[in-house]
C-alpha cells in the first residue's frame, strides 16, 4: 500500500506537442514554418519567440489564436498487448504590441509555454502510476523593445506564470476488493524574465537572433482527495488514506534560442533555429503529504538538457498569400530507466505546412504539424515496455495590424 501511494509524481501529463512538456506552436505562422521565430518573428508573436522582434511591427499589431493538439499515444508492456489513449488540448495565445517610435515599442502576450494532458483507459496496466492527469501553465508576458541603432533590436520582458497540476491514479487493494482513487490538485504563481536580441547583419537579407527565458520556480499547494476507500482495511492504512493538504515544488526550465533568417528575395524567407532546454531542473518529483508525511517519497526522473532543431521557409506567392513549410527534430529528455506512463515521452520528428492570407489590415495564418513519436523503450522497474504514437497540431491565428 505504501508503494502504491508513494510513487505519485507531479507532471503526470501525457505527451505534449513537443518533448518534455514544451509547447512551441504559439502562432499560426510559426507553426507552419517549423516553429521557427528567433530571428524571423517580427510581429507581436515575437513576445514568445524573441522579444526583440516586436519592433518589426509598423505601428500596432494584435493577434489571437489557438493550437489544437490531438495526440494518439500507445504503450505496449513487455509480454502484453498495446493500450492507447487519444487526447485533445487547445492551448490558446494572444498578443498585442504598440510601437511608440521607430526605437521603442511595448506589448503583452498570454500563452501556454508548458502543458499536456493524459487519460489512459480504465483498465490500463499502469493505472496505479497514472490514469488521468494534466498540467496547465499560463504565461502573462509584458514586454519592451528598444533599437539603439537601426540594425540592432533588443527586447526584454517579465514572466508572470500561473500553473496548475491535476493527477488521478487508482488505488488497488487486492483481489476481490473494489479499487479506490486518489486525486491530487495543486496550483501556484511563479515569476521569471525573458530577453532577446536581433541583429541585421545584411539589412533586408540576413538576420541573427538570440533569446533567453529564465527558470520559473513553481512551489504549488493543494489537496489530496481519496475516494472509494473500502471499509475493513487495517487501521494504520485506513487512517493514512484521508483527505489532506499537499505541496509540490518544481522548477520550469530555462531556455536558450539561437536563430538565423535569410531572405534571398523579397518573396522568400528561410529560417533556422536551435533551442536549448534546461530539462535537468526536473531530477525528481515529490508530492509532500502534510497530514501523513509517510506517504511522501521522491520519484526519480533524472531528465537531461536537450537541444532541438527547427528549419522553416515562407514563400509569398502574392502580396496577400504566403505559403510555408518546416521540419523539427526534438529529442526527449527522459532516460529509459525513468520513463513511466505518468510522463510518457519520445524523440519526435515534426513535419509542418501552412499558409497565410492578408486582406487590408487583417490577416489569418493557418499552420499544421504532423508529429511522429519514435518508438521509445522504457526499462523502468515499475512498468517496462515501449511507447509510440503520433500527434496532429492545427494552429490558427487571426491578426490585425496598422
CB atoms within 10 A of CB 293: 9
**CB hemisphere CA count around 280 (13 angstroms):** 6
Q: Range with the lowest mean pLDDT among 170-179, 193-202, 317-326, 365-374?
A: 170-179
Cβ neighbours of residue 318 closer than 8 Å, sequence gap 6 or more: none
What percent of the chain has a predicted confidence (pLDDT) above 70? 96
pLDDT of residue 307: 97
CB atoms within 10 A of CB 55: 23
Location of C-alpha cell 520528428 = 349
**CB hemisphere CA count around 198 (13 angstroms):** 34
Cβ neighbours of residue 3 closer than 8 Å, sequence gap 6 or more: none
Task: Return the closest-CA partner of residue 121 out of 71, 79, 75, 183.
Answer: 75
pLDDT at 4 over 90: no
pLDDT of residue 17: 62
Encode pLDDT of 81-93 as tens digits: 999 888 888 899 9
* CATH code assigned to 2-401: 2.40.160.60
Q: Range with the lowest mean pLDDT among 30-44, 167-181, 328-342, 359-373?
A: 167-181
pLDDT of residue 148: 97
- Specify which residues 69 forms β-bridges with: 89, 393
pLDDT at 238 over 90: no
Q: Range with the lowest mean pLDDT among 57-71, 87-101, 331-345?
A: 331-345
Burial 243-252 (b: 16+ CB within 10 A, else e): eeebbbbbbb
pLDDT of residue 116: 77
For residue 13, what pLDDT band results from cuts at 50, 70 and 90?
A: very low
pTM for the complete prediction? 0.91
pLDDT at 112 over 50: yes
Encode pLDDT of 204-224 as tens digits: 999 999 999 999 999 999 999
Amino acid at each position: 500500500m505504501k508503494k502504491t501511494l508513494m510513487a505519485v509524481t507531479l507532471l503526470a501529463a501525457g505527451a505534449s506537442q513537443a518533448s518534455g512538456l514544451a509547447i512551441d506552436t504559439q502562432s499560426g505562422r510559426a507553426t507552419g514554418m517549423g516553429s521557427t521565430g528567433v530571428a524571423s518573428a517580427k510581429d507581436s508573436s515575437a513576445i514568445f519567440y524573441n522579444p526583440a522582434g516586436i519592433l518589426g511591427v509598423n505601428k500596432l499589431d494584435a493577434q489571437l489564436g489557438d493550437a489544437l493538439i490531438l495526440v494518439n499515444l500507445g504503450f505496449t508492456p513487455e509480454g502484453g498487448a498495446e493500450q492507447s489513449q487519444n487526447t485533445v488540448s487547445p492551448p490558446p495565445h494572444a498578443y498585442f504590441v504598440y510601437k511608440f517610435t521607430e526605437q521603442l515599442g511595448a506589448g503583452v502576450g498570454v500563452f501556454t509555454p508548458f502543458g499536456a494532458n493524459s487519460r489512459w483507459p480504465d483498465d490500463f496496466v499502469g493505472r496505479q502510476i497514472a490514469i488521468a492527469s494534466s498540467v496547465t501553465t499560463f504565461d502573462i508576458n509584458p514586454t519592451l523593445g528598444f533599437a539603439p541603432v537601426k540594425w540592432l533590436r533588443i527586447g526584454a520582458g517579465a514572466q508572470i506564470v500561473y500553473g496548475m497540476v491535476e493527477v488521478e491514479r487508482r488505488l488497488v487493494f487486492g483481489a476481490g476488493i473494489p479499487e479506490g482513487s486518489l486525486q491530487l490538485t495543486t496550483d501556484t504563481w511563479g515569476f521569471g524574465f525573458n530577453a532577446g536580441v536581433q541583429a541585421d547583419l545584411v539589412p533586408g537579407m540576413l538576420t541573427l537572433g538570440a533569446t533567453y527565458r529564465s527558470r520559473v520556480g513553481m512551489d504549488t499547494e493543494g489537496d489530496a482527495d481519496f475516494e472509494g476507500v473500502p471499509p475493513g482495511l487495517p487501521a494504520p492504512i485506513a487512517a493514512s488514506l484521508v483527505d489532506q493538504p499537499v505541496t509540490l515544488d518544481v522548477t520550469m526550465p530555462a531556455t536558450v534560442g539561437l536563430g538565423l533568417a535569410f531572405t534571398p528575395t523579397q518573396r522568400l524567407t528561410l529560417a533556422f533555429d536551435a533551442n536549448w532546454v534546461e530539462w535537468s531542473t526536473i531530477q525528481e518529483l515529490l508530492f509532500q503529504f502534510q497530514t501523513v508525511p509517510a506517504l511522501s517519497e521522491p520519484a526519480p526522473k533524472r531528465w537531461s538538457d536537450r537541444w532541438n532543431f527547427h528549419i522553416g521557409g515562407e514563400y509569398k506567392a502574392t502580396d496577400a498569400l504566403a505559403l510555408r513549410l518546416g521540419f523539427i527534430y526534438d529529442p526527449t529528455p527522459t532516460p529509459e530507466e525513468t520513463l513511466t506512463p505518468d510522463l510518457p515521452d519520445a524523440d519526435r520528428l515534426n513535419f509542418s505546412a501552412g499558409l497565410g492570407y492578408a486582406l487590408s489590415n487583417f490577416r489569418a495564418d493557418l499552420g499544421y504539424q504532423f508529429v511522429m513519436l519514435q518508438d521509445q523503450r522504457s526499462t523502468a522497474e515499475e512498468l517496462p515496455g515501449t511507447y509510440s504514437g503520433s500527434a496532429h497540431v492545427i494552429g490558427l491565428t487571426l491578426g490585425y495590424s496598422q
